[in-house]
Structure formats: C-alpha cells, structure tokens
Structure 1
Amino acid sequence: MSGGKQPNDRLASWFERTGWSKGEFARQVNRRARRLGALHVSTDTSRVRRWLDGEQPRDPIPRIISELFSEHFGCVVAVEDLGFKEPGALFTGSGVDLPWAPESVVELLGDFSRSDLMLGRRGFLGASLALSAGPALVEPMQRWLAPSPVPPLPPKAPQAPGRLGIGELEQLEATVRLFRSWDMQCGGGLRRKAVVGQLQEVTDLLQDVYPAPVRERLFRLTAELSLLAGWMSYDVGMQPGAQKYFVLALHAAKEAGDRPLGANVLGVMSRQMIHLDRPSDALELIHLAQYGSRDTAGPRTQAMLYAVEGRAHAALGQADKCRRALSVAEQLHADAPEADEPDWIRYFGAAELSCETGLAFRDLAYRGAAPAERAREPLEEAVRLFAGTPEYQRSHALGRVGLAAVYVLVRDAERACDAAGYALSLAARVRSERLTTRLRRTVRSAVDLFGDQPCVRRLADRLQGELPEAAFPLV
C-alpha cells in the first residue's frame, strides 16, 4: 500500500454498520460540510476509499464524520474511535456564519436540537463546536439588519397544510412562558432538555404551510424557545452550544419580523461575551441591538440593553461611559409601563436593574476604576427586592454572590460570609453551573484574604460539604 499506510479498520467497522454506499457516505459529508460553511470540502467515492485505506482526512472532516456517525447510531462516536488523529484545533467555521433564509433556519434548528437531544451535554455539543468571537462573530450578526431576500417561487411539489390551529399555538406560547418561569426559579439544569424537545417539535411544525400571520407567530415562538435553550445551556456551562442556539434564535426572530426580540437575543449574546471576558465583542453586539431596535423596542427592553452596555464598559474599565449607560437605563426603566411589553422582558424589573448596576460598579472596582463601596448599595437593594419574589431564585442567589464579592473587596469578612452563605442555601436548590462557579470563586477569594477567620473556614467547609465540585450533573 502506498506510503506504508495501514487500513483504517476502526473506520471500516463503523462505516459497514451504517449500510451506506461510499457515494452516499461522501454525499452525507459534503452536505454537512456545506451546512457548517466548509465550502472547500468536496468528497467523492475515491476519497472515501483512501480514508478506509488509512489516509488521515483534513480538519473539519474527522469531526463531521464523528457527528454523522454519532447521530446515526445514537451514541457518541469520537474522532479517536474512528481511527483518526484528533485535529489540533476546532473548526471554527461551524459556528455562526449561517445562511439568512427561512429554510436554512428550520433545517439547522432541527438538526441541532435533534443532535442535542440524542447525544447530550458531553456528546455532540461538547466535542464538535467551537465558540466564535471577534469579527467572526460580530460581522455575521450584522446581517440581521439587512433586508430579507426575495422569497423563492413556490415549490412544485405540494407541501403539507399546517397542522397547527390558533388554539394550539396559544397553548404553545403559554408553555414557553411556563418554561421561562421554571428557568428563573430553578436554573437551566433541570428543564433544559424539555425546552430543547419542545423546540424540536415546533421546528417540525415549521415544515408545513401556514398563512403569513400564523407563520410569523410560529417563528417568534421558535425564536423564544431557541433563545431559552441557549440561555439554559449558557447557565449550565455549555458555552459553544449556547452560542449556536442564540444565533439560530436571532435568525428565527428575523423571520418573525420581530426586531425587539432580535435585540433581546443580541443582548443575551452580549452578556455571554462579558461572562467569557470578551467585553469588546459584547459592546459591538449591544450597539448592534440598540441600533436595530431603536424605533421598535419598548422602554424596558431599551433599559436592559443600556444596562448591559454599562456592564460591558465596566468590564473594560471605562467608568464614565459605564455611568452614562447606567443613567440612561435607569431613566428608561422609570418611564416603562408596568405591563405593556413582551413576557420575555418581564424579568427586567427594579431588582434586576439594581443588580446590573451593582455588578457593573463591582467590575469597575476590580479594575481600580471606582470604589467598591459604590457597588454595595445597589446590590443590597437588589437582594432586598429579590427576597420578596421567589420566582427569581437564581437572580437572588447571583445578587447575593455579587454582594459577597463586594464585601470581600471592602474587607468585611463577616458580611461576605453571611451573603455567600445565603447564596449557598439558594444554590443547593438551583441547578446553575454559572451560579456555583461564581460562588466558589468568591469563597476562594474570601479564603485567600481572611482564611484565618472562623466564619470563613466554616463557609469553605460548608461549601465543600453541600456543593462539592461536580455536584448536580447538569444535562
């Protein structure tokens, strides 16, 4: 055999079990590569034969084959299981630069949610995705504002008539509101798969033909579910998968013609970039959201966008710009009517605004751009307000953790332990890796500064006993 290569018996074994011909296998690889944006991939039967003979395909093909076999067999088939070498870097082209067309949105959402349901947290989503950042993230999102292409001519083959009546659509919308409430109260870990399953079903419904108003409502529902699936994935630490759901949510919001919902999606993507220490990307996304929804979003939504802008400026240490954005957010929120905006922005009340303000000043204090004491009052106000609204348990716990971090900064060990201890009591009931990670980080900071104090030692022991590493596997 040329080059001294040995036949790839592992790949051959998996391939034979599929029952595919070499031509069908090549077509499957090419189809998946186009969907991921890897337009340079062009596989044929002779190339498949060379892989079976021992040739190592170039990235991203090993990961594409891993995904295809994993989906086909309903179990994780890793790159190494196929006899391939692990590529040196993830294929970043598989991320966010997707076609802005309704057919593509429906197909991609169907494939992605189906793979998520089959393979779960440490299968498809853990092995095959990479985060996009910088221009590779921001530039594709800018196409959200471009005019939609002219709809294609109707297909020659008849499509199935819509299976969804108005009553059923209203029931689905009520289900999304229920899922959102569960997430705020219990965190993303307990209900994520239920949301992804509902998203899968709604995506199937979009294969049918509906009148324009019903189709828009169905795309809006799809956008909300995809956003919620992304938010829950973000909450449990599945960052690449979360980003993919966010991007698909933005595409669906565009198909629904809902600019405020699209701006909300970009706001959540900006929060994720702040969490991942990419504040410049966060600013780009939030400015795009503000520009794109300036004439359509209500004051509560605009207040949220300005609050997130303040957080991004704080992460960059830009104190004056942070204060200006938070001031605008406060004024907009004061002008917001009580019940005149969509359910997805209902969470952004006075408590959430106070929490965002306090966290922004905490981040400025980390960078020496503002006194830590400035963060204390808004965070204390936030936890006071959250304490009276049990449905926001996760936000309450995150506010307590933020307050504990501020007490650490001002060297108040007793209050830091009290705030972190309260957050720990809540964290035991909220399946949120984001919360537990921040809590552990804050307790470690307290130990580093006050490790000799009894209250700190008790808190650290309690954390280890009640919420050890790898507690609550999140799926």
Structure 2
Amino acid sequence: MVDATAILDSCSYTEATGRELFSAVADLGSVAGWMSFDAGMHQSAQKLFITALHAASEGADKAVGAHILQCMARQMSHLAHYSDALDLVALAQYGGRRQISPATKSMLAALESRLNAILGHLDESERAAGRAEELFTLIDPAEEPPHMAFFDAAELSATLGVAHQIAARKSEGSHRTRRADKSLDLLGRALNLRPEHRTRSKAFDHLALARTHLVASEVGGAHQETGLALTLFGMINSKRVADRLIELHDEAAQYSQVAEVADLRSRIKVSITSSDGEVAGP
C-alpha cells in the first residue's frame, strides 16, 4: 500500500485519472486491511486502513472513504473500543452524506444499531435498526459501487440479528423475550440467504444464534448451533471467529453445570487450543 501511494505521488497524470487511481488504491487497501484484521494482525490492519483512507481522500472518493471508516469501526468494536467505533460510523455518515449509496447508508445504520446496543442505548439501537431496514428497500443493485456487493439481505439480517441479541442481553422480562425472538428470526434468515461458499459468514451466523439461545436460556439450541459453528471453524482460518468462540465459551459459564453446556465449552476449548488460540478459565 505504501509503495502504491508513493508511486502515485511521484507520477504525472490528469486530475481525473489521478482520482481513479487513488480510489482504486483505497479500495485495494480496504481489502488488505480487512484480511489483516481477520487474521488478528491489528496493528497492520490499522496502518492499512489509515493509508487507504488517505488514498480515498486524495481521490475525493467519499463512498470508498465511508466504507473504510466502517471497516475501522468494526475493528474498534472487535477490540472493545465501542465509543470510538460509533464515532467512526458517525463520521462516515456525515462525511459521505451526499455521495454514499443507499446500501452504504443501510450498512452504516445497521452497524450504528449494533454499537448502540453494546453501549446500552437500546432505544437508539432500535431506531437505527428501523432506518437500516428502510434504507435497504431503496437499493438498486445496478447503481451500487462494486465494494458494496457484500452487503446483501443476509448481511443486513445478520448485523441486525446481533444488535437485537445484544439488546436482549441488556433487557429484562418481555423486552428480553421480544428482542431474543427478533434476533433468532433475523439470524435464521441470514443463514438461509447465505451463498454456500460464504463459510466464514455462516460460522458467524451459527455463533450468533448460539449466543442468542443462551440469552434465552435455551441451552439445547446453543449446543446445536455451536456444533455447527465448530464444524465450519475447522474449514477456515479466522482469528475473528476464534475470538467469538472464546466469548461464547465465557458467556456459557453460567450454565456450566448443565451437561450440554459443559460439552459445548469443552469442544470450544479443544478447537481453540488446536488452532493456537487461548481460552481463559476452567
């Protein structure tokens, strides 16, 4: 990435060509940064995202810039810097408000919903989820930029399903039940819509379903979904999926006296250990 931007800085071209070149480098940088993020190489990912963001600025491409900011927000969320992540989403929404597509706006609203749920802003989370769904209906695939091809109905459903799961965990009584039911519906829809080759995404979906079942105290469902997630985990190499498995292992501790949950936690521990990960606690 640094070499690519250095070459562009030293070459001659027209303004229009320069913008296209910087935009292409920014898009490439977002992919490289995401690959580093998925591998758990966070410092490398941050450097790549920042370099890509500078390239997007040089190319005056606010749409790619917004996409890079949401990648950075997801990484900040993964690292538990939730307020910083929400600030990055707000920056993407404001900075690209006149140029970003309906898919980008829907994606950012869905991510806003999830982050607000994490921060305990449950009403704001639900409103953002509603906006994400409304904006999604405005999408014309033929008018969307190539870098937004990943954001389909499955991705929207998965993101909002996790948002409702988190909100359910922070709610009580009928509110918890309603949010958990919504989460299960959305995550089930995401899985049904996923193309067969999206193995990593399907692993995340099964993990999210397992965690929602735990929120609803449905240990049988959690055990079944964890098994499916572990099968897919054995087919890929993803530090992000490994980290989510560790979170599920820890969340299940409160039910560790139940045989199915004890088995769930044991299988996660074996899988993570064999992939050179680390699970804390018994």
Q: Same fold (TM over 0.5)?
A: yes
What is the distance in 2 between the residues matched to 1:325 and 1:459? 33
**3-state DSSP of counterpart to 1:336:** coil
Letter in 1 for 2:48: Y
Query: Residue 23 of structure 2 corresponds to which residue in structure 1?
Result: 220
What is the distance in 1 between the residues matched to 2:235 and 2:134? 35
Indicate whether 1:434 and 2:249 are aligned.
no
What is the distance in 2 between the residues matched to 1:441 and 1:343? 33
Query: Residue 258 of structure 2 corresponds to which residue in structure 1?
Result: 452
Q: Please report how far the alpha carbon of residue 362 of structure 1 lies from its aligned counterpart in structure 2 after TM superposition.
A: 1.4
Aligned residue among 421, 444, 448 for 2:227: 421
Indicate whether 1:278 and 2:81 are aligned.
yes
Query: Residue 406 of structure 1 corresponds to which residue in structure 2?
Result: 212
**3-state DSSP of counterpart to 2:150:** coil
**Residues 57-456 of structure 1 mapped to structure 2, 5 A cutoff:** 109-110=1-2, 200=3, 202-203=4-5, 205-206=7-8, 207-368=10-171, 370-371=175-176, 372-386=180-194, 389-453=195-259, 455-456=260-261
Superposition CA RMSD, Å:
2.0
Q: Normalization by structure 1: what TM-score? A: 0.54
Letter in 2 for 1:441: E
State whether residues 5 and 55 of structure 2, in contact with CA within 8 Å, keep that contact through their aligned partners in structure 1: no
Q: Please report how far the alpha carbon of residue 461 of structure 1 lies from its aligned counterpart in structure 2 after TM superposition.
A: 4.1
State whether residues 263 and 289 of structure 1, in contact with CA within 8 Å, keep that contact through their aligned partners in structure 2: yes
**3-state DSSP of counterpart to 2:143:** coil
Query: Residue 280 of structure 2 corresponds to which residue in structure 1?
Result: none
Letter in 1 for 2:186: P
Q: Please report how far the alpha carbon of residue 435 of structure 1 lies from its aligned counterpart in structure 2 after TM superposition.
A: 0.4
**3-state DSSP of counterpart to 1:243:** helix
Q: Please report how far the alpha carbon of residue 205 of structure 1 lies from its aligned counterpart in structure 2 after TM superposition.
A: 4.1
Q: Normalization by structure 2: what TM-score? A: 0.88
What is the distance in 1 between the residues matched to 2:163 and 2:235? 26
What is the distance in 2 between the residues matched to 1:204 and 1:408? 50
Letter in 1 for 2:268: L
Q: Please report how far the alpha carbon of residue 458 of structure 1 lies from its aligned counterpart in structure 2 after TM superposition.
A: 3.8
What is the distance in 1 between the residues matched to 2:20 and 2:239? 32
**3-state DSSP of counterpart to 1:431:** coil
What is the distance in 2 between the residues matched to 1:252 and 1:451? 53
What is the distance in 2 between the residues matched to 1:444 and 1:273? 21
What is the distance in 2 between the residues matched to 1:333 and 1:252? 28
Q: Please report how far the alpha carbon of residue 263 of structure 1 lies from its aligned counterpart in structure 2 after TM superposition.
A: 0.9
Query: Residue 44 of structure 1 corresponds to which residue in structure 2?
Result: none
Q: Please report how far the alpha carbon of residue 336 of structure 1 lies from its aligned counterpart in structure 2 after TM superposition.
A: 0.3
Aligned residue among 446, 449, 468 for 2:273: 468
Letter in 1 for 2:54: H
Letter in 2 for 1:282: A
Q: In structure 2, do the counterparts of structure 1 residues 457 and 316 end up closer, same or farther at CA, with 3 Å as the change threshold? A: closer
State whether residues 428 and 467 of structure 1, in contact with CA within 8 Å, keep that contact through their aligned partners in structure 2: no
**3-state DSSP of counterpart to 2:141:** coil
**Computing the radius of gyration over CA atoms, which structure comes out larger, 1 or 2?**
1
State whether residues 413 and 450 of structure 1, in contact with CA within 8 Å, keep that contact through their aligned partners in structure 2: no
State whether residues 113 and 124 of structure 2, in contact with CA within 8 Å, keep that contact through their aligned partners in structure 1: yes
**Which structure shows the bigger proportion of residues in helix conformation?**
2
Larger displacement relative to structure 2 (399-408 or 230-239): 230-239
Letter in 2 for 1:433: K
What is the distance in 2 between the residues matched to 1:436 and 1:337? 35
What is the distance in 1 between the residues matched to 2:133 and 2:240? 26
Q: Please report how far the alpha carbon of residue 218 of structure 1 lies from its aligned counterpart in structure 2 after TM superposition.
A: 1.7
Q: How many residues align?
A: 271
Q: Please report how far the alpha carbon of residue 221 of structure 1 lies from its aligned counterpart in structure 2 after TM superposition.
A: 1.5
**3-state DSSP of counterpart to 1:339:** helix
Q: Please report how far the alpha carbon of residue 465 of structure 1 lies from its aligned counterpart in structure 2 after TM superposition.
A: 4.1
Q: Give unpaired runs (5+ residues) of structure 2.
A: 278-282
What is the distance in 2 between the residues matched to 1:204 and 1:278? 31
